[in-house]
Amino acid sequence: MAGQTERFLFSTYSAYKLARRLIIGVVGGTITLLGVALLVLPGPAFIVLPLGLAILGVEFLWARRLLRKVRDSLSRNNRNSTSP
C-alpha cells in the first residue's frame, strides 16, 4: 500500500513541476517575444524584455544568465556614459 502512495505522490509532484515549467515558459516566452517586437515597434521594449527574461529566469538557468549579462552590460555602459 505504501508503494502505491509514494508512486502517486511522485507522479503528482512530477506533473506539477512539468505544468509549472510549461506555464512559466509560455508566459515568459510570450513577454520576451513581445519585448523583442517592441525593439522595432513603438513601446517600452527596455522594460518588457527584461521582465520576460526575469519570468523565464524563475525556472530556466540560461535566462537567468542572460539577464545578468544584460544587466551588467547596462550598468557598465551607464557608468561609462556618466563619467566626465
Q: Quick check: 7 pLDDT over 90? A: no
pLDDT tens digits for range 15-72: 888 889 999 999 999 999 999 999 999 999 889 999 999 999 999 999 999 999 988 8
Let me know if residue 60 belongs to a domain: yes
- Evaluate whether residue 84 is within a structural domain: no
pLDDT higher than 60, residue 84: no
SS3 of 75, please? Answer: helix
> With the C-alpha atoms ordered 70, 64, 31, 48, is the resulting torsion angle positive or negative?
negative
How many domains are there within the chain? Answer: 1
Cell of 33: 517575444
Alpha-helix runs per DSSP H in the chain:
2-37, 45-57, 61-82
Domain assignment of residue 31, yes or no: yes
Task: Answer yes or no: is 27 within a domain.
Answer: yes
Range of the domain at 11: 2-76
Grid cell in block for residue 32? 520576451
Largest CA distance in the chain: 73
55 found inside a domain:
yes
